[in-house]
Structures are given as C-alpha cells and as structure tokens.
A and B are shown apart, each in its own frame.
Chain A
Amino acid sequence: QVQLVQSGAEVKKPGASVKVSCETSGYTFSNFYMHWVRQAPGQGLEWMGIINPSGGTTNSAQKIKGRVTMTRDTSTRTVYMELNSLTFEDTAVYYCARGGPVSSSLEYWGQGTLVTISS
C-alpha cells in the first residue's frame, strides 16, 4: 500500500533553516507529483509547492518563493522540502502529499512534521 513517512519534529531558531523528508513506498515513485502543504496552529491548509519526481522540476507558492527548495532522491524514493530564513510565522505542521487520480488532487498524505520556531 502507498505510504508516506515523514521525518520527526524540529525546533529551530529564527533565521535558521529546516529540511523535512518524506520517504515513499508502495507505488512507482516517478509517476506521481508530490505536494507540500503546511498548517499553522489553529489555521487552515496552505499549499507550499510541488515537485515532479521524474525530472525534479518544481513550482512553489508566491508567498514563499525564494525561501523554499524542494528536491528528490530517486534512489531512496524520498522527497525533501527545505525552508530557510525561518520566522515565528513558519511554525506549523508540514505535510507531504502525493498527487492522485486527477493530478491536481492530493490523494495520499504523510503523517505531518511539526516545525516549531522558537528563540
């Protein structure tokens, strides 16, 4: 079955960077786009970006463009999301989510990774 397993919780200081991983299994890695979505405490869902695991091309939300880098390692079937210049507003649960039957839908989700920005 499809599984997305994310790395563990992180605590970072303002100005630092964080890198979250999402290890996949149960499907052909290169056939499905991977999205990143975050949710601040008590807030709604915010789309962050997308990566094509086949060629590595990415697109990110305008709000965070320039601060986010999405990469993949096809040998380990893992995608990564790195966010730099962290501020308190980046405190959130970060999810990876695989594209679904319609490529723009998000069918399978990781368990989420809590990133806390604290001085």
Chain B
Amino acid sequence: QSVLTQPPSVSGAPGQRVTISCTGSSSNIGAGYDVHWYQQLPGTAPKLLIYGNDNRPSGVPDRFSGSKSGTSASLAITGLQAEDEADYYCQSYDSSLSGHVFGTGTKVTVL
C-alpha cells in the first residue's frame, strides 16, 4: 500500500483537460520533497514527464504541467490526445520510510 494516493482512473474526451491528484502527507510531499510524474504506455518502461514539481524534460509537450501545494500535487493534461492514454504515476521521497515512493497510479482513458 503506497503512501501516495492517486485516483485509479480519469477520463476525458479529445481536447479536454484532465487532472490527476497525488495526495501525500507531512513526511513526504508536505515535508517539501520534490514530486515527479511518469507516463507509462502499455508494455513499455515509464517515462519521466515532470520533474521537480513543475518542470518538463526536453521533448515533453507543454500540454503537460505539474503543481504542488501542501501535502498534494497534481498533473494536468490539456488538449487531451489519444496518445495520452496511459498509466501515470507520481513519485516523491518519504522521510518516515527513508526511501522513495511511488503513487498508486492512475489510468487515463481518452473517450
């Protein structure tokens, strides 16, 4: 059972905006540790999507954005496209566990 909680699924029509929440606690996100986001397409390795809460690696479209507030973080996808259909995971560090942790994961479905 992960210490970072995400909704199991979100969906939206092409062109719409969807958001994925990542809820943590005072020992991880709330303690000021960075949050990172990953996209995993079926049968492939995860890909870094957002690092350091709100930064995009080179090559990641600006349709993807991240934010962090208090003990939670969010990933937003605007202008949803069919190719965005994937699993998304948040990740941070937890001081109580003395290790890194992933969120429970969210499946994004494009209707």
Q: Please give the residue numbers on chain A whose beta carbons come within 8 Å of chain B beta carbons, in ascending order.
A: 35, 37, 44-47, 49-50, 59-62, 95, 97, 100-102, 104-107, 109-112
A37, A95, A97, A112 — which one has the most chain B CB atoms within 10 A of its CB? A37
- Assuming the A-B contacts A100-B57, A104-B36, are A62 and B48 also in contact, with contact meaning beta carbons closer than 8 angstroms in the complex? no
What 9 pairs between A and B have smallest CB-CB spacing? A105-B51, A109-B45, A44-B105, A45-B102, A105-B36, A102-B52, A47-B100, A61-B99, A102-B51
CA distance A37 to B102 in the complex (A): 10
Instruction: Check if A106 sits within 8 Å of B2, measured CB to CB.
Output: no
Contact of B38 among A60, A61, A106 (CB under 8 A): A106
Contact pattern, B 17-45, Cβ under 8 Å of A = 1, otherwise 0: 00000000000000001101010100001
Which residues of the partner chain B approach A106 to less than 8 Å between Cβ atoms? 36, 38, 46, 48, 91
Min Cβ gap A16→B in Å is 25
Shortest beta-carbon distance from B87 to chain A in Å = 8
SS class, residues of chain B in contact with chain A: strand
Chain B residue nearest in CB terms to A62: B97
Give A109 to B38 CA distance when docked, in angstroms. Answer: 11
User: Of residues A37, A44, A111, which shows the largest number of chain B Cβ atoms within 10 Å of its Cβ?
Assistant: A44
Asked if B98 and A107 sit within 8 Å, CB to CB, the answer is no
Q: Which residue of B lies closest to A45 (CB)?
A: B102
B97 touches A61 (CB 8 A): yes
Q: Which of B47, B48, B57, B101 contacts A47 (CB 8 A)?
A: B101
Provide the bound-state CA to CA distance between A65 and B51, in Å: 27
Do residues A62 and B98 form an inter-chain contact, with CB atoms below 8 A? yes
Residue A95 contacts which of B45, B55, B93 (CB distance < 8 angstroms)? B45
Partner of B52, one of A61, A101, A109, A112: A101
- Which B residue's beta carbon lies closest to that of A44? B105
Of residues 77 to 97 in B, which have CB atoms within 8 Å of A's CB atoms? 87, 89, 91-93, 97
